Structure 1
Amino acid sequence: MTDALLKLSGVHTHIGEYHILQGVDLHVPRGGLTVLLGRNGAGKTTTLRTVMGLWQASAGKVEFGGRDISRLRTPEIAQAGIAYVPESMAVFSDLTVRENLYLAARSGPMDTTRLEWIFSFFPALKKFWNYPAGKLSGGQKQMVAIARAIIEPRQLLLIDEPTKGLAPAIIQNLADAIRQLKGQTTVLLVEQNFHFVRQLGDTVAVMDDGRIVHSGPMAELAADRALQQRLLGLALDSHQ
């Protein structure tokens, strides 16, 4: 097995009286992009939030780089090298793009070389550098959210539903950017748009009812219509 940067073993998560994750086993290989698929309510977002410590696992173990992070607080997990881009995009609307990124650069002034690297695949951010983030389009806000997460080097990037509500042209631009990004950091991506993830994913895991029910190479799932139907109730190449 390829070296796993992130490993979940028998992870359970309760939110109030609800038992959401029910023994999740997940391996995220180092240096690639893993896609987490599943129907709405399967537990995908809860998985990301549990890794990030926003919700505490009630049982099982979350390991990052061989270290048990199951009981660490969210700031400690971030300092360990994990960044999280939530579905809500999480930008400061009243602040400029520059100010949003400045706040995310916790260890000191923004590295100009790294900033130019981010501009190379998100050129709109340079164009709107002094523009209030709240006035940007949905796609541009998503770019700000991802840029905030990677303004400092990260070993693992968790991204939740980045294409939701975006126009097709913007989705393709985002795909091009993430394709470049995944060469620099390991990515765990939750997404519903199969046409988006099929071109990006190296490995895939499918969730159902709080458990991982399938994992393997993305190419195998993309080529197997019967498996798509069994796992997700639809042929993924028909899901636009």
Structure 2
Amino acid sequence: MSTNLLELTGVHTHIGAYHILHGVDFAVPEGGVTMLLGRNGAGKSTTLRTIMGLWPASQGELRFQGRSLKGVATPDIATQGIAYVPESMGIFTDLSVKENMVLAARKARNASELDSQRLDWIFSLFPALKKFWLYPAGKLSGGQKQMLAVARAIVEPRALILIDEPSKGLAPSIIRNLIDAFGELKRQKTTILLVEQNFMMAKALGDTVAVMDNGRVVHRGAMAELAGDEGMQQRLLGLSLGAHQ
């Protein structure tokens, strides 16, 4: 049985006067990919932001490696080994690819201090980053910017990576590249919590799944079970994975 790296229990989140999360419960097993699925507005992005402390939980418990994250500041959460790739990607467009990578590496003050073997491995996943190493990040294509955002998250080993809709707006060939890259991370037992609307990616990568609706988790289980049951897909998500092959 896998150990749960991250556990959310009864998590509520308020943003101003709005009550967004209503008792979210699910766990992320260590060494696998957990998909967080649901219709638009279900609360998926808010869940990731709550885990990172960007929007504090108003009730409930979040535990990472057995330690509470509730009330912990975002920089301190990051130092515990959690990386976050927001839907907006979060890259610095005026800086070069190289400068973006150095800023993401806590142990490097300049490019020469980056782990060269790990950097070569990242280049094997995303060759475009090596080609455009000295280019301003703002001049990259949308797909290349997403590659950079993911590369920043893995420039150093992380215990957990939170990724919010990485395939949004990207061409199928770029999505396939991301699936291959995430598949390599999965083979290396990197734990990932992935919010995604592309169900080809969800089916290809997911080990476990939590489905959200109206700020609650309405289903938890194996991704393979959901992928193989079109009735469940229709009931929980309003569509069929089979239509997204």
Q: Deviations over 1:59-101 (max 9, x none)?
A: 0000000111111000000000000000011111111110100
The one-letter amino acid paired with 1:198 is: K
The one-letter amino acid paired with 1:118 is: I
Q: 2:195 aligns with which of 190, 194, 212?
A: 190
Matched, 1:128 2:128: no
Q: 2:141 aligns with which of 137, 141, 145?
A: 137
Percent identity reads 69
CA distance in 1, matches of 2:87, 2:80: 22
What stretches of structure 1 move > 3 A for 4+ residues in a row? none
Q: 1:153 aligns with which of 153, 157, 177?
A: 157
Aligned to 1:4: 4
CA distance in 1, matches of 2:104, 2:238: 40
CA distance in 2, matches of 1:182, 1:51: 21
Q: Deviations over 1:143-179 (max 9, x none)?
A: 1001111111100000000000000111101110110
CA apart distance, 1:236: 2.3
Gaps of 5+ in 1: none
Aligned to 1:35: 35
Aligned to 2:226: 221
CA distance in 2, matches of 1:91, 1:76: 20
Aligned to 2:169: 165
Aligned to 1:52: 52
CA apart distance, 1:183: 2.6
Matched, 1:25 2:21: no
Matched, 1:235 2:240: yes
TM-score (norm 2): 0.96
Q: Deviations over 1:11-33 (max 9, x none)?
A: 00000111100000010000000
Q: 1:175 aligns with which of 174, 179, 185?
A: 179
Partner SS, residue 95 of structure 1: coil
CA distance in 1, matches of 2:65, 2:42: 26
CA apart distance, 1:126: 0.7
CA apart distance, 1:110: 1.1
TM-score (norm 1): 0.98
Aligned to 1:199: 204
The one-letter amino acid paired with 2:131 is: K
CA distance in 2, matches of 1:239, 1:170: 16
Structure 1, 88-97 or 73-82: larger mean CA deviation = 88-97
CA distance in 2, matches of 1:152, 1:6: 20
CA distance in 2, matches of 1:104, 1:200: 25
Partner SS, residue 115 of structure 1: helix
RMSD between aligned residues: 1.0
Matched, 1:209 2:241: no
Aligned to 2:77: 77
The one-letter amino acid paired with 1:179 is: G
Q: Deviations over 1:116-143 (max 9, x none)?
A: 1111111111111111111111110001
CA apart distance, 1:239: 4.1
